[in-house]
Chains A and B, each alone.
Chain A
Amino acid sequence: MSHPVFMWAAARPCRSDRMRTDAPSVLVEGVAKAAPKPAPRRRSPALRRAFPYLLLAPALAYLLVITLYPGLFAIYQSLFVVKFLNWTWAGFDNYTTILQDREFWAALANTALIGAISLALQTGIALAIAYFAYRDPLIRGWRIVYLMPMLFMPSAVAFIWKLAFNDGRVISDLLGRLGLIEGNVDWLGSIWLSRMTLIVADVWQWTPFLFIIFVAALQGQDQEIEEAARLDGASWPKIFWNISLPMMRPVIVVAVTLRGIDITTMFTNVFVMTQGTPGGATETMSYFIYRQGFRMFNFGYASAASVLMLILTVIIAQTVVKRAFHSGKT
């Protein structure tokens, strides 16, 4: 299933492409004029005007079919009560029901809670490692290694963690051998332990992504500024806190926002590892939508939940980015 959020993210470049559609024709003309003597190649004016659109056509077609169509379809569907091929017009009934659905609010709260903790942890850890590591020449050469967790298939990662926590009891065993616990921990038996397994899996997989971005940002900073601060008497932590970190701010905001949008759609790990147990404590929005749609076959209801989620995500992301960049200036 394609979550509407992806539609939003992917649709943006489409718009900016459109705004620049006159650029290729300028280029074509410029080349024709600049070419010295050989007779300029003639194209029919119609073709010349259509040329930029033709160049964009494949990308546009892709976007329309893969993201825009399902997105619009979801909005449309959310206005019906759908029982397979039997669609009944419902207006905004789905929405009003959802807003009174305790499970919806629980899922929203779970997503916010698990997402916020996970995001805070991975941002903090990534920043800390980046701070200690970015001057190291080894890091430059071996950056790609740190991307490995990201390169694994998400479902494979989820299964690894499922094995480690639940089925294989690897973690319990390790903790037991360290003498920290006795016997087995029932990770799915407690609300917070269960949530923690999701957080651990997400942090493990995505901290490297933030780390790479933060290291690149730090390495891109003007070294003389750091040196000036050093001569002014600042210690390394003070330089980081007073200078490097504020300079990284736009990068941090963008990276965390992207990651945040991604986390709100957390599904694979939930599906594989916890299935929302215990008692819905780990049911995220995506899993809620999935359950409504594909377990209970309330397609209209699930679509409505997706649309609400999309609106919420866009509002939050816009506010965060706008704020961060606005106060970054002046």
Chain B
Amino acid sequence: MASIHLQNLEKRYGAFVGVQNMSLEIADEEFLVLLGPSGCGKTTTMRMIAGLEVPTDGKIVIGGEEVNEVDARDRDVAMVFQGYALYPNMSIYENIRFPLRMRKIPASEHDARIRQAADMVELGAFLDRKPGALSGGQRQRAALARAVVRQPQVFLMDEPLSNLDAKLRQSMRVQIKHMQRQLKVTTVYVTHDQIEAMTLADRIVIMNKGAIQQVGTPDQIYSDPANTFVAGFIGSPPMNLIEGTAQNGRFTAPGVSAPCLDHVRGKVTLGVRPEDCQVGGDNVQGMVYGVEPTGDTTYLTVRAGEKMIEVKAARDYRSDIDQPVGITFDPAHLYFFGEDGQRIRGAA
């Protein structure tokens, strides 16, 4: 329904910078996920888009219109709050109905829409309860239903599934994605959960300390990280980052040796994902530190020098600790980062 442009958006609290010089173009109908560690400014960004927080600097444009001076009420966004923010004095039914009443949607449509939203979050049986009589996960779903009951310009969802169990979270995820595609509402979604980010997003924005680290499709973020922060943040377990030196097309660190391109020189960091490592071979010569079978796969931790390296091994791989072990890296999936943490890309 509307694109969103953030231009050099900044939020400072005194000397502390909550969001730093953020520029972002969110396309119409896009599903954008903000991902980053706690306190990196995700909620603050959302609140500025919603109009609940006044930016210290920069511009917000929604649907081609600058909205910096537009009151939150008139921006026509719907938000799921991290803390739910349900109306404690109203039943869940009345909670979900509130935006319909306030936006003057004909009363004849209310009931059907409320039930549809409640069914989507599997809360149909709880409509008569007050929020105080619901569990945390149920409240969260009620908050979600209240946000999606009408069709706004923009959805803002701040960790809407964080309190649900794995199964419910998975089904909710599918529901949200389906609904977003159906309603075609531009959506900004905050999460800590990488799987959620990967499965939902058209594009992911990785943030750290108030600044954007990388913007890209889930594929790009995963297979083409821009810096060590993104590399170490995405993937579970995340990418191995091994500090060492490179010269003459060879990267070395204690117990580690791997080929690299000629222009990679000096102090660098090698990144390799656990799933791009194989047991056997001699890129790493170390000792088995631990073996963790998870059912569908087994994670092996190898100690090379002082460094722990995670390897995704075969499902039936087993070993005692302190046994010598070798590892091979997939040479096509090695990443190198300079001293500043930025990626050193292909031939210069």
Beta-carbon contact of A233 and B103 below 8 Å: yes
Interface string of B70-86 (1 = CB under 8 A from A): 01110101110101011
- Interface segment out of the listed A3-11, A31-39, A219-227: A219-227
Smallest CB separation, B176 vs chain A (Å): 18
Asked if B338 is an interface residue, CB under 8 A from chain A, the answer is: no
Partner of B98, one of A222, A227, A242, A247: A242
Beta-carbon contact of B73 and A228 below 8 Å: no
Using Cβ atoms and an 8 Å threshold, which residues of chain A touch B72? 227, 230-231
Beta-carbon contact of A233 and B102 below 8 Å: yes
Please report the number of residue pairs spanning A and B whose Cβ atoms sit closer than 8 angstroms: 59
**Identity of the chain A residue whose Cβ is nearest the Cβ of B89 in the assembled complex:** A246
Distance between Cα atoms of A246 and B90 in the complex (Å): 9
Distance between Cα atoms of A233 and B146 in the complex (Å): 12
Query: Given A222-B85, A225-B85, A246-B89, are A231 and B98 neighbors across the interface (CB < 8 Å)?
Result: no
Asked if B88 is an interface residue, CB under 8 A from chain A, the answer is: yes
Most chain B CB inside 10 Å of its own CB: which residue of A227, A234, A246: A227
Beta-carbon contact of B98 and A224 below 8 Å: no
Partner of A229, one of B78, B83, B88, B98: B98
Smallest CB separation, A49 vs chain B (Å): 41
Chain A interface category by residue count: 10 to 19
Query: Given A229-B98, A231-B72, A233-B73, are A243 and B81 neighbors across the interface (CB < 8 Å)?
Result: no
Asked if B118 is an interface residue, CB under 8 A from chain A, the answer is: no
Asked if B50 is an interface residue, CB under 8 A from chain A, the answer is: yes
**Identity of the chain B residue whose Cβ is nearest the Cβ of A247 in the assembled complex:** B89
Beta-carbon contact of B81 and A228 below 8 Å: yes
Partner of A228, one of B71, B85, B89, B103: B85
Asked if A318 is an interface residue, CB under 8 A from chain B, the answer is: no
Asked if A238 is an interface residue, CB under 8 A from chain B, the answer is: yes
Which residues of A32-66 are within 8 A (CB) of B?
none
Using Cβ atoms and an 8 Å threshold, which residues of chain B touch A229? 87, 98, 102
Beta-carbon contact of B50 and A225 below 8 Å: no
Distance between Cα atoms of A247 and B88 in the complex (Å): 7
Beta-carbon contact of B130 and A234 below 8 Å: no
Smallest CB separation, B291 vs chain A (Å): 43
Using Cβ atoms and an 8 Å threshold, which residues of chain A touch B293? none
Query: Given A238-B102, A242-B98, A330-B130, are A231 and B89 neighbors across the interface (CB < 8 Å)?
Result: no
Using Cβ atoms and an 8 Å threshold, which residues of chain B touch A101? none
Asked if B99 is an interface residue, CB under 8 A from chain A, the answer is: yes
Query: Given A242-B98, A330-B130, are A231 and B87 neighbors across the interface (CB < 8 Å)?
Result: no
Partner of A232, one of B71, B83, B88, B146: B146
Asked if B52 is an interface residue, CB under 8 A from chain A, the answer is: yes
Distance between Cα atoms of A233 and B99 in the complex (Å): 6
Using Cβ atoms and an 8 Å threshold, which residues of chain A touch B98? 229, 232, 234, 242
Beta-carbon contact of A228 and B79 below 8 Å: yes
Asked if A235 is an interface residue, CB under 8 A from chain B, the answer is: yes
Distance between Cα atoms of A233 and B77 in the complex (Å): 9
Using Cβ atoms and an 8 Å threshold, which residues of chain B touch A227? 50, 52, 72, 81, 85
Beta-carbon contact of B89 and A224 below 8 Å: no
Using Cβ atoms and an 8 Å threshold, which residues of chain A touch B103? 232-233
Beta-carbon contact of B99 and A232 below 8 Å: yes
Beta-carbon contact of B89 and A243 below 8 Å: yes
Beta-carbon contact of B73 and A234 below 8 Å: yes
Smallest CB separation, B109 vs chain A (Å): 15
Distance between Cα atoms of A233 and B73 in the complex (Å): 5
Using Cβ atoms and an 8 Å threshold, which residues of chain A touch B75? 231
Interface string of B284-324 (1 = CB under 8 A from A): 00000000000000000000000000000000000000000
Q: What residues make up the interface of B, taking CB atoms closer than 8 Å to A?
A: 50, 52, 71-73, 75, 77-79, 81, 83, 85-89, 98-99, 102-103, 130, 146
Closest 3 CB pairs of A and B: A233-B102, A232-B99, A246-B89
Give me 28 A-to-B residue pairs in the complex whose CB atoms sit less than 8 angstroms apart, sorted by A's number: A222-B83, A222-B85, A224-B83, A227-B52, A227-B72, A227-B85, A229-B87, A229-B102, A230-B71, A231-B50, A231-B72, A231-B75, A231-B77, A231-B79, A232-B78, A232-B98, A232-B146, A233-B73, A233-B99, A234-B102, A238-B102, A242-B87, A243-B87, A243-B89, A246-B89, A247-B88, A249-B89, A330-B130
Q: What residues make up the interface of A, taking CB atoms closer than 8 Å to B?
A: 222, 224-225, 227-235, 238, 242-243, 246-247, 249, 330
